[in-house]
Amino acid sequence: MLAGTAGCNLQQDIDVELPVLPAQLVAECYLVPGQVPRLTVTETVPYLSTPEPSVPTDVTVVLTLPNGQQQQLSFRPGQDKLTQKAYTHIGRQPLVARPGDTFTLDVRDSKGRRVTGTATMPALVPLDTVEWKFNEKSGEERKAYVLSRFQDPAATANFYRFQIHNDSISKDPERDFELDDRLNNGQLITLGTSYRFSAGDTLLITLYHIDQPYYLFLQSVQDARNANGNPFAQPAAIRSTVQGGLGVFTVLSSDRRTVILK
């Protein structure tokens, strides 16, 4: 009886029909003071389709500046020389943005789809100090940790993104995480790493002071990545900062230090 049970085939194939959802516009726009505005517009594809971006070509993009002036971004696909990231639309002149300035984005296509968003530039929170220390080992085992400090403003709730790139921001960061000041409001905040950097490394250390919608977007993206392919994780939805579609629209306020470890 037991032998017969052990020889049974317990596998059962189940066909799961995935719902066919209409394609939505996806807008990704990070405004940077002093840089020409750039935007990437794609559209969603079915979950099991090939991972190739679907780029609509009939999209009109209008950016409204704080003074009410409207600037249309032209469809001229290219690649950012600094970050190596692709974009589909670009403006005409560098952006002038100051803390407290609010911008509005309007993206629409010939099918009647429309994505809108509003973003306000946060105040600059500068890095206070960046320092490092090597361990006592030699050769390839000699590594350094890095400590970065900044003063959190006490008057408001604040959200941050912290990154460390080695050599170039076009590469994946060595450190990349988000944090808020719920437990450190108004205090000097210290962020550290493990012993992971070598003598001669050129590090680009960036502190972004971000708004809460962008912070929640970043958190939801990380949750979705962790849940993808994990049968024990709860499905996670992306918390977009735009309306009418998916994506993010924000103004980056950042301080960056470049250090060479010696």
The sign of the CA dihedral 79, 113, 20, 241 is positive
Higher confidence at residue 37 or residue 7? 37
pLDDT for position 48: 62
* Burial letters 23-43, b for 16+ CB under 10 A, else e: eebbbbbbbbbeeebbbbbbb
pLDDT of 1 strictly over 60: no
Question: Where in the chain are the domains?
Answer: 25-120, 127-239+254-260
pLDDT digits (tens, 9 = 90+) for 127-176: 999 999 999 999 999 999 999 999 999 989 999 999 999 999 999 999 99
Cα 23 to the center of its chain, rounded Å: 22
Q: Is there a common fold for 25-120 and 127-239+254-260?
A: yes
Higher confidence at residue 47 or residue 30? 30
Label residue 49 by pLDDT band (50, 70, 90). low
pLDDT digits (tens, 9 = 90+) for 170-225: 999 999 999 999 999 999 999 999 999 999 999 999 999 999 999 999 999 988 88
Label residue 233 by pLDDT band (50, 70, 90). low
Higher confidence at residue 106 or residue 226? 106
Rounded-to-integer distance, Cα 239 and Cα 235, Å: 13
pLDDT for position 40: 97
pLDDT of 123 strictly over 90: yes
Q: Quick one: residue 229, left, alpha or beta (phi over 0 = left, psi -120 to 50 = alpha)? A: left
Rounded-to-integer distance, Cα 258 and Cα 261, Å: 10
**CATH domain 127-239+254-260 topology:** Immunoglobulin-like (2.60.40)
Label residue 2 by pLDDT band (50, 70, 90). very low
Label residue 237 by pLDDT band (50, 70, 90). confident
Who contacts 211 (Cβ-Cβ below 8 Å, separation ≥6)? 119, 120, 122, 159, 250
The CATH superfamily label for domain 25-120 reads: Immunoglobulins (2.60.40.10)
Label residue 74 by pLDDT band (50, 70, 90). very high
